[in-house]
């Protein structure tokens, strides 16, 4: 059995950055400097992100419901997240790191504060982190959970248009952009 288990504390939940080592024969926790924690070699999901752009389908009822919830949560971090409705006629992918309408319709895209594009589950993790739900983003990216999240999201992304009653305007999984 493992004698130690490393757990990265989630900054959004505990407000304490870094990692803790829990020993199997002790209930005491020993703080480990972030530089020594292997989890900090990857993107951290803190609620201190700035300039995050969330690209979402404003004609998807499920997507809009989630975005409205995130906008509500963002109130205390106003201006840190820009929610971009790709379904609006003026959407221009060139302004958003060349993420075309078709690409954004296939799966969730988020552009972080460093101008890096994240897709799928990593996009959700960045988005949740930006509105103060860093613990949820970390949970989704946690290695035991991540494969399940990836598979579940792939199924959702592949079927969301059918499940939301938008099959009529869509062919081969893509919707034609409405120009009003």
pLDDT of 56? 97
Least confident range of 39-53, 116-130, 143-157: 39-53
Task: Count other Cβ atoms within 10 Å, centred on residue 160.
Answer: 19
Mean pLDDT of 156-163: 90
Tell me the whole-structure pTM to 2 decimals: 0.67
Contact 142, 92 (CB under 8 A): no
* Three-state secondary-structure class, residue 5: strand
Give the model's confidence band at 164: pLDDT under 50 very low, under 70 low, under 90 confident, else very high.
confident
* Domain identity same for 68 and 36: no
CA angle 74, 45, 94 (to 5 degrees): 70
- Domains in the chain, number: 2
* Domain identity same for 112 and 176: yes
| For residue 104, pLDDT beyond 70 | yes
* Domain identity same for 10 and 51: no
Mean pLDDT of 42-56: 62
Q: Domain span at residue 62?
A: 44-180
Q: Quickly tell me which residue has 């799966």 as its tokens.
A: 107
| For residue 5, pLDDT beyond 60 | no
* Domain identity same for 141 and 54: yes
Give the model's confidence band at 169: pLDDT under 50 very low, under 70 low, under 90 confident, else very high.
low
Tokens representing residue 150 in the block: 């990836």
When computed from its CA atoms, the radius of gyration of the chain, rounded to whole angstroms, is: 19
Give the model's confidence band at 140: pLDDT under 50 very low, under 70 low, under 90 confident, else very high.
very high
């Amino acid at each position: 059995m493992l004698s130690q288990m490393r757990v990265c504390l989630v900054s959004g939940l505990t407000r304490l950055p870094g990692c803790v080592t829990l020993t199997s024969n002790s209930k005491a926790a020993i703080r480990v400097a972030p530089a020594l924690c292997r989890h900090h070699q990857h993107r951290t999901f803190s609620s201190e992100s700035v300039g995050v752009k969330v690209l979402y389908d404003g004609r998807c009822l499920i997507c809009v419901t989630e975005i409205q919830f995130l906008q509500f949560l963002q109130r205390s971090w106003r201006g840190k997240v820009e929610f971009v409705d790709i379904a609006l006629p003026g959407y221009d992918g060139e302004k958003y790191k060349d993420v075309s309408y078709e690409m954004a319709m296939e799966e969730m895209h988020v552009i972080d504060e460093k101008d890096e594009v994240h897709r799928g589950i990593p996009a959700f993790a960045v988005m949740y982190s930006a509105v103060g739900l860093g613990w949820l983003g970390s949970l989704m990216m946690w290695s035991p959970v991540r494969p399940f999240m990836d598979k579940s999201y792939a199924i959702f992304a592949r079927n969301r248009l059918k499940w939301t009653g938008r099959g009529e305007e869509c062919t081969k999984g893509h919707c034609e952009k409405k120009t009003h």
